[in-house]
Structure 1
């Protein structure tokens, strides 16, 4: 079969797709458009070596998947003829009518716009882009589909051209697709651009997903089945879809939250499509009854739709194996708008234009914007207004001098202060938003004017880390806290290491600390002590670097690997993080497929989640005898902020033959600290002895054992 026959076969596939949703389509006209485009592009080839006609065909197929009208598909087949062939506007108008010629000419003009040029030129070209969109939105639909196919085949281009196209896609076309309500296209455009701009980052995320799948199986299939079971119980008919989020979406969350992949929670997304609004709320109730809802992660876009017509219920729950998952719940009509956005205005079903009650015409938004600034000579003002509208996942705020500061959604005045300059952030004591005094933790909105109030002598507080969202602000605050607390951390680290050395019956010396620093790649012994004091390094890492063969466990102690009675030989098990059971406490095992058995205290609140699954419960008991101090328990303590208090607490814990394995500061105030201390213990009796010793310390205001059902597997 020659190439021409292959491309004709592709054209017939396009025809078949159009017939599937629009039996009344003018098939002969579409075939003529394909033949005309193939004749005009004869002898032209793409960077990949394929005949050029394959590109217009692919663009038309992308639009046919959105069930668009004949005129849009014909425009896609002809969109490069006026620009790249001998065909003219008049030729296209004679062959296919004035409407098609206008659309093809509009796409041609968009292609020629340099949207990444200098700011003045960029603003002017953006104005032209929006003017073209206001005349006929189908122009931008074809252009977006054109860009999507180019990004799907971008690897055939020169590396420098790939980078240019990827940046332009990430900055302009992807956000524009999102603003048009075509979220699926936005995500795919971003991911293709991400693969060019940061291939290592994308590969690392894909690798982590592959590792997760090997370790836990197909989580998406498991959770999808779980949701379907809950729908069946509630007597609701619906479709359930699940998927892992795209690599760039994961990367963006990691950057915005300044966390690693392992600390990111909702990396899976699920969608439930039902028949009515009432059923949407019934599904939400069924899901919340089955799984614990995550506070602050519920949005009802059905009662309060987005400006582009998007309607859906969003909720995040702590689902199977404590993995956070986002669930979107909507009706079929809402789903069609969510999937196709602006394309819904030209979509067909069974030969009829679809009238979707939830669709909002974005042309109204575009027309209002272009009319508002049509007469304006201030290019920068127009550009700012466009970006405020387009980049809805970002916040654009203004300094008192009118300069624009771009921040992620959820940013606060403190983020704003650090974005201007680290020195302003460090001295911030308050803020005025639109001339009104507001706290530093208030979330900023698009277009607000922000003034930061500063004071000499102000320094960053540890609590600020919870007030900011940008990596820049978090990094600057942490650095400042480290410098301010360095002396205290060195003292605390010294005490922690002294206790650790005593635990293995060794003597701590400056020489030993220096050798450990070199072994761990730390610049100096003092820096090592500071890192231990700030919980960046664990004492056990230092001991292991110096004495790899040393074990403090006496010969008569029970091996921690066989500490539990009632398991099958070599059956893997672990202590549940939610209750951290200790030898001497009554325990029960809960089996998890692929993860062995988790040991819970018999009074653990998390057991309520599996009380209707008795087949997973295993009767267990601790081995009788002398257990090693390897079972970590977390203490939540509030202590006085006085010199030497932390050192005394460490000494107290060490005197009870217990080891501190981790220490985190939750809050630092002028008069107190709140800290989480992980202490390795032997048994429940050992726990009571340590707790009693700490409660007797005058500088300990409060001490509690941390038990959190949300941490259950």
Structure 2
């Protein structure tokens, strides 16, 4: 075979060295299966070369080596060897399944789908591909572990790529793959992704920081050695067995802190980091006491991630001390098991395995996260909304709050009580009306802090408020609020559409309930088979004209001679507005109609009905168009509060705003907005937006305002 000499060096060294390493933790049969997968991949990629000029098979071998460092199982290693076979060689998934089993074929297929992700394309395509990744992860989380190893080797060999392509791959890595590695607790992957991505995106900045770090470490070697020695001596005096190691800050972390926290390089490097690795949890707390006796701790800088682990399973004690000469020292104390978990996350100790005895807490967290992403996907209106929410969910920081029963909830930084309510259960979020933080009533929009106890007050029949979308942080809350509002809007649109259609049909002397089902089905067929509810929703949203649909229902087709309304029948009176129609009816801000005003409804496509005053100038051109405007009146039992703008002219005097607000409140109304323009030295003009129930209530408010001394005139502002 012509390519044999090119592979001559790879076969005896690469796969044999890997097989020796795998023999430490896999059975001989499993090692042979990995070997077989390698030879299959070598043959499939025969003649293919990487951009660097090496035989292509060196790449899958390198990916398998990365997974071997984490002691991944033989099926993951086989999938690593074969991960490009389906995409690059034309070999079908079925052929792989026949050779290596269904599980390995599924893993390879999942990784192949992720390889097709093209993040430089349109946002819609990016989002669709991200959904494929979610589906692949949900079936077997090892898919993402193989993909992360594949991406890591590609990032290590990025220099062979053209600059524009390497920047695109680096951007994709920093935005998607690094946060996923962090979310799965794989710190080693996360740090290397960030540093390699940073070097590719900003080579000059990375080089300058690298040089500065090298110089700083050389200058600080002596003080580092002294601190390390004093910590080791402190442990020895107390008879504690622990290993003290210096902790290096990685380049991207330094750069982010310099940018985000506006700190100089020297300020960041003046903090010394150490990690103390011990044998068991009990020793962690004893070491903490010892180091607190050695150096004074910074108040408020102690964090116990052992008792309350981070969302990605990370566990450690964090404390900051005043060291020699007041130098800040950051210390992390953890067990060896926690150290491996911190570095390898979900890949540590085979936590990724679907079977096994008892699933570990970290494994459950990772699966819970993937399950949460799947829920977002099902609820999201479209793929763009989905990816927006997932990116929010790949958060680096968390707050930990408690339910009234003491259960710990992990939420992103900046989360509110509404985010908490949806994290507890979707129904709790949908019916939330108020909250208590540490047993005190608090605004729903108040950001939560770690350690707070949050209690949600619910009410049957309550609905999500559209204003919540302005302050919620989590993807789950945002997606569920939008979903509930869409459902609410649909039901309200159907109800309004039915009322509008019945009003139009009354002109022809009939009602929807009197029209035969066969006739309705016939007309629905003309609308490409939509169901009746969809048609009523379209009418309610203003996308179809009720009169046109009524004429079709009565005559059967728009092409037939149009029927005129029957003169002998008495049509229904104007449509009554009750004030409880919800999202599908809105009140025009130009003329602010209130109960008692003569009104008309303007049907606006996609928005439903907008209510205007009868003489509003903004609808003058539609006023006599029966298809776009409909005569309305107010129901006798109309409810709700309506905004009205008043212009008050009065003599300028001390405490003017307070007097106006007091008089409005005395008339049982609320001030929504207030503003003042001074017309001259003596007379002020105040713009006042108040909420009232109807015209009678407004008259009472105006009457109360007229009792104020110096009021020259009050005018209601209209368009």
TM-score, length-normalised on structure 2? 0.53
Tell me how far apart the structure 1 counterparts of residues 357 and 156 of structure 2 sit (CA, whole Å).
29
2-side partners of 1:234 and 1:257: how far apart? Answer: 38
2-side partners of 1:348 and 1:25: how far apart?
21
| CA distance in structure 2 between the partners assigned to 1:228 and 1:440 by the alignment | 39
Q: Cα distance 1:448–1:215, how it changes in 2: closer, same or farther (>3 A)?
A: farther
Alpha-carbon distance, 1:292 to partner: 2.5
For 1:116-265, what aligned pairs fall within 5 Å after superposition?
116-217=120-221, 220-264=224-268
Quickly say closer, same or farther: Cα 1:439–1:280, change in 2 above 3 A: closer
In structure 2, the residue matched to 1:4 is 7
How far apart are the structure 1 equivalents of 2:449 and 2:235? 39
Separation in 2, partners of 1:273, 1:144: 27
Q: 2:57 aligns with which of 53, 60, 63?
A: 53
**SS of 1:359 mapped into structure 2:** helix
Q: What is the SS of the residue equivalent to 2:24? A: helix
Maintained 8 Å contact 1:347/1:354: no
Does the residue aligned with 1:310 lie in a helix, a strand or coil?
coil
What CA distance in whole angstroms lies between the structure 1 residues aligned with 2:43 and 2:18? 18
Q: How does 1:547-586 map to 2 (within 5 A)?
A: none
Distance in 2 separating the partners of 1:77 and 1:236: 45
1: CA distance, partners of 2:85 / 2:285: 50
Q: State yes or no: 1:64 paired with 2:64.
A: no
In 2, distance between residues paired with 1:225 and 1:355? 41
Correspondence for 1:22? 26
Distance 2:392 2:279 in 1: 35
2:336 to 332, 337, 349: 332
* Per-residue deviation, residues 333-376 of structure 1 (Å, max 9, x unmatched): 22222221111363699xx9797855333123212320343254
Counterpart in the other structure of 2:48: 44
Q: CA deviation at 1:265?
A: 5.2
What is the aligned partner in structure 1 of residue 363 from structure 2?
360
Q: Paired residue for 1:112, among 105, 112, 116?
A: 116
Partners of 2:177 and 2:316 in 1: how far apart? 24
The 1:40–1:122 alpha-carbon spacing in structure 2 relative to 1, beyond 3 Å, is same
In structure 2, how many angstroms separate the alpha carbons of the residues matched to 1:355 and 1:66?
Answer: 20
Whole-angstrom CA distance in 2 between matches of 1:393 and 1:356: 25
Give, in whole Å, the separation in 2 of the partners of 1:305 and 1:439. Answer: 21
Following the alignment from structure 2 to structure 1, what is the Cα–Cα distance between the partners of residues 222 and 351? 35
2:275 and 2:323 map into 1 onto residues whose CA distance is 14
Question: Are the structure 2 counterparts of residues 183 and 84 from structure 1 closer, same or farther at C-alpha, using a change threshold of 3 Å?
Answer: same
- Equivalent pair of 1:333/1:356 in contact (CA under 8 Å): no
Deviation at 1:62, TM superposition (A): 0.5
Pick closer, same or farther for the CA change 1:329–1:439 going to 2, 3 Å: closer
Correspondence 1:343-358 to 2 at 5 A: 343-344=347-348, 346=350, 357-358=360-361
Q: How far apart are the structure 2 equivalents of 1:276 and 1:88?
A: 49
SS of the residue 1:26 aligns to: helix
Q: CA deviation at 1:42?
A: 1.4
CA drift at 1:256: 1.4
Q: Tell me the equivalent position of 1:287.
A: 291
Distance change >3 Å, CA 221–CA 55, structure 1 → 2: farther
Instruction: Answer whether contact 1:115 1:126 (CA < 8 A) is retained.
Output: no
The answer (yes or no) to whether the contact 1:333–1:358 under 8 Å persists in 2 is no
Deviation at 1:207, TM superposition (A): 1.7
Please tell me whether residue 389 in structure 1 is matched to residue 383 in structure 2.
no
Partner-residue secondary structure (3-state), 1:317: strand
> Mean Cα displacement is larger for which, 129-138 or 381-390?
381-390
Q: Measured at CA, do residues 128 and 311 of structure 1 come closer, stay the same or move farther in structure 2, by a change above 3 Å?
A: same
List aligned pairs for 1:449-488, cutoff 5 A: none
Q: Which runs of 5+ in 2 are unaligned?
A: 400-411, 417-440, 453-466, 473-719
For the Cα contact (< 8 Å) 1:182–1:339, is it kept in 2? yes
Give me the whole-angstrom Cα distance separating, in 1, the residues matched to 2:29 and 2:446. 58
In the alignment, the residues of structure 2 paired with residue 62 and residue 124 of structure 1 have an alpha-carbon distance, to the nearest angstrom, of: 29
1:309 correspondence with 2:313: yes
Instruction: State the shift of 1:274 in Å.
Output: 1.4
- The 3 A distance-change label for structure 1 pair 265 and 316 is farther
Change (3 A) 1:450 1:289: farther
Distance 2:186 2:56 in 1: 27
Does the 8 Å CA contact 2:228/2:245 hold for their aligned counterparts?
A: yes
Query: How far did residue 13 of structure 1 move?
Result: 1.6
2:414–2:448 CA contact under 8 A, matched in 1: no
Q: Paired residues, what number?
A: 416
Conserved? CA contact 1:434–1:448, under 8 Å = no
C-alpha distance in 2, partners of 1:354/1:61?
27
1:114, 1:122 within 8 Å by CA — same for their partners in 2? yes
- 8 Å CA contact 2:7, 2:55 repeated in 1: no
Q: Structure 1's 274 and 284: CA in aligned 2 closer, same or farther, altered over 3 A?
A: same
Taking the aligned partners of 1:47 and 1:434, their CA distance within structure 2 comes to 60
1:270 to 264, 271, 274: 274
| Partner Cα distance (1:448, 1:393) in 2 | 22
Q: Whole-Å Cα distance in 2 between the matches of residues 307 and 78 of structure 1?
A: 32
Q: Is the 8 A contact 1:41 1:81 kept in 2?
A: yes
Displacement of 1:16 after TM fit? 1.6
State how far apart, in whole Å, the 2-side matches of 1:329 and 1:3 are. 49
**Superposition map of 1:633-644 within 5 A:** none
Distance 1:88 1:299, change over 3 A: same
Q: 1:440 to 1:204 in 2, by over 3 A?
A: farther
Quote how far apart the aligned CAs of 1:252 are.
0.8
Q: Distance in 2 between matches of 1:291 and 1:316?
A: 9
Compute the TM-score of the two structures, normalised by the length of structure 1.
0.54
* Cα distance change, pair 127–64 in 1 and its aligned pair in 2 (3 A): same
C-alpha change, 1:276 and 1:442, in structure 2 (3 Å) is closer
C-alpha distance 322-60 of structure 1, shift in aligned 2 (>3 A): farther
User: Within the alignment, does 1:79 sit opposite 2:100 as a pair?
Assistant: no
Q: Is the Cα contact below 8 Å between 1:174 and 1:185 reproduced in 2?
A: yes
Higher RCO structure, 1 or 2 (CA under 8 Å, sep 6+): 1
CA distance in 2, matches of 1:266, 1:450: 39
